[in-house]
């Protein structure tokens, strides 16, 4: 067992932040030997209960749950900052040519190693990640994540049409490859598999149906895709699937809406789409920096809340502009300002932080596992330095409330704030 003395941020069952200025976090092995949170709370109240346990003094630092990124593309690490008129030209001119290189295992491995280093530097300890259509890209990512002991989910992209040579796969083989990868990797150590149709325009109805059949057969694997991101994309889907009720309806018809199904963007939705998300238990991965960069639109938080939809935050690198959860939370704040709010002008810092930790984990079906620092949770946490830059030191020293402290970190923070990352 080991204990840490620092300020500690975690969340209660009502999604509210709980903060101890002089806190203590005790971690130790559970029955399976995995490092979990054994106790957490006020230092004065807890210290006497753990005599003999070494306590590392981190006063002046903030311990918080490791960040959870609900949607990111590791093969797009080198695509960040590629300007385009919108989603579809961006895919054609930058993304597909980059992804075509991932049939080379050496290239996939080199990018995966850099990607995981970058996640760690930014304090992200769990990510639901797109690979490419090449099975080798999945193997490379799982091997790197396994070596680092991460809780990590990825899958082979399915795209058997409207895709150029080099990234297009073949319907039957793509499903055979997917099943083989599920059997090889899902549930190994902390790894999970996600059935990954890229988006409705690049999968034939047969491929989507096959994906849905696998999702039924392997009911605890994840599903990930994109939906209702961009107006041209939505129009194209309506032409390709004239009988579907909506874009989301294409996935519903294929059996791809259920718990552990995560759809990036969910911008151009109607009330029926949102109700379907709630009824099926599917979750939205809100990707605000990507949506602002590609000019896709604004996620409607108020409508999502009214519908009772599950959601959390995501970077969507390389459509997104940063690996940093602080940048993503700030972009979500900007997006929140565009909506209607019963209280305040946008989201609160506690809401933003929850959406990138406990809320994201809950939306992934990893409630009770990661994303929070309550007893029993896997001990994935970050040690943050609120004085990492001169301006942050000045600003956080003047914070009169938890909201002011968290806001200072969200607005001014980046990888310089992340002093250390611990994983279970």
Contact residues toward Zn ion (CB under 5 A) are 264, 316
Nearest-approach distance from CB 299 to Zn ion, in angstroms = 14
Beta bridge partners of 420: 383
Nearest-approach distance from CB 272 to ligand GUN, in angstroms = 22
Of the pair 7, 313, the CB lying nearest ligand GUN is at 313
Give CA–CA dist 373/3, Å, rounded.
Answer: 13
Of the pair 131, 264, the CB lying nearest Zn ion is at 264
**Residue 273, contacted partner among ligand GUN, Zn ion, none, CB below 5-8 A by kind:** none
**Residue 35, contacted partner among Zn ion, ligand GUN, none, CB below 5-8 A by kind:** none
**Residue 198, contacted partner among ligand GUN, Zn ion, none, CB below 5-8 A by kind:** ligand GUN
Give CA–CA dist 351/343, Å, rounded.
Answer: 13
Give CA–CA dist 174/170, Å, rounded.
Answer: 6
**Residue 87, contacted partner among ligand GUN, Zn ion, none, CB below 5-8 A by kind:** ligand GUN
Nearest-approach distance from CB 17 to ligand GUN, in angstroms = 30
Binding site residues, ligand GUN, CB under 6 A: 73, 87, 91, 95, 198-199, 226, 229, 290, 316, 319
Nearest-approach distance from CB 256 to ligand GUN, in angstroms = 15
Nearest-approach distance from CB 237 to Zn ion, in angstroms = 16
Cβ contacts of 8-11, under 8 Å, gap ≥ 24: 8/40, 8/62, 8/63, 8/64, 8/373, 9/62, 9/63, 9/64, 9/65, 9/353, 9/373, 9/406, 10/40, 10/64, 10/65, 10/358, 10/372, 10/373, 10/374, 11/65, 11/354, 11/357, 11/358, 11/372
Of the pair 39, 277, the CB lying nearest Zn ion is at 277
Of the pair 5, 226, the CB lying nearest ligand GUN is at 226
Give CA–CA dist 304/9, Å, rounded.
Answer: 26
Of the pair 299, 381, the CB lying nearest Zn ion is at 299
- Whether residue 318 is preceded by a cis peptide bond, meaning omega within 30 degrees of 0, is yes
Of the pair 82, 399, the CB lying nearest ligand GUN is at 82
**Residue 199, contacted partner among ligand GUN, Zn ion, none, CB below 5-8 A by kind:** ligand GUN
Nearest-approach distance from CB 131 to ligand GUN, in angstroms = 11
Of the pair 11, 263, the CB lying nearest Zn ion is at 263
Beta strands 55-65 and 2-11: pairing type? parallel
**Residue 357, contacted partner among ligand GUN, Zn ion, none, CB below 5-8 A by kind:** none
Nearest-approach distance from CB 66 to ligand GUN, in angstroms = 24
Nearest-approach distance from CB 406 to Zn ion, in angstroms = 27
Of the pair 122, 198, the CB lying nearest ligand GUN is at 198
């Amino acid at each position: 067992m080991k204990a840490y003395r620092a300020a500690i941020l975690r969340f209660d069952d009502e999604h509210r932040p709980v903060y101890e200025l002089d806190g203590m976090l005790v971690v130790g092995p559970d029955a399976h030997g995995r490092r979990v949170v054994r106790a957490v709370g006020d230092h004065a109240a807890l210290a006497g209960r753990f005599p003999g346990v070494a306590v590392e003094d981190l006063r002046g630092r903030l311990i918080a749950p490791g960040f959870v990124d609900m949607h990111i593309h590791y093969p797009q690490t080198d695509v960040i900052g590629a300007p385009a008129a919108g989603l579809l030209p961006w895919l054609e001119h930058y993304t597909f040519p980059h992804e075509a290189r991932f049939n080379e295992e050496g290239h996939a491995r080199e990018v995966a190693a850099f990607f995981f280093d970058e996640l760690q530097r930014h304090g992200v300890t769990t990510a639901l990640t797109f690979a490419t259509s090449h099975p080798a890209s999945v193997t490379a990512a799982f091997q790197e994540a396994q070596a680092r002991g991460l809780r990590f989910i990825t899958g082979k992209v399915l795209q058997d049409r409207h895709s150029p040579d080099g990234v297009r796969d073949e319907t039957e083989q793509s499903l055979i490859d997917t099943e083989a990868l599920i059997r090889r990797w899902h549930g190994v150590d902390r790894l999970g598999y996600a059935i990954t149709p890229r988006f409705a325009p690049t999968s034939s109805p047969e491929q989507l149906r096959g994906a849905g059949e696998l999702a039924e057969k392997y009911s605890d694997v994840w599903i990930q895709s994109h939906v209702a991101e961009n107006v041209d994309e939505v129009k194209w889907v309506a032409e390709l699937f004239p009988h579907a009720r909506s874009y989301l309806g294409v996935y519903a018809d294929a059996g791809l809406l259920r718990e552990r199904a995560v759809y990036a963007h969910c911008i151009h939705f109607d009330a029926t789409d949102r109700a379907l998300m709630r009824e099926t238990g599917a979750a939205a991965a809100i990707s605000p920096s990507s949506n602002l960069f590609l000019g896709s639109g604004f996620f409607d938080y108020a409508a999502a809340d009214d519908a009772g939809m599950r959601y959390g935050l995501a970077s969507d690198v390389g459509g997104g502009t940063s690996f940093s959860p602080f940048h993503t939370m700030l972009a979500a704040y900007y997006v929140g300002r565009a909506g209607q709010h019963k209280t305040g002008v946008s989201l609160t810092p506690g809401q933003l932080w929850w959406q990138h930790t406990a809320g994201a984990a809950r939306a992934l079906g990893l409630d009770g596992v990661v994303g929070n620092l309550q007893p029993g949770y896997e001990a994935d946490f970050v040690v943050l330095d609120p004085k990492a830059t001169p301006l942050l030191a000045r600003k956080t020293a003047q914070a009169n409330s938890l909201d002011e402290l968290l806001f200072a970190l969200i607005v001014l923070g980046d990888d310089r704030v992340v002093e250390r990352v611990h994983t279970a």
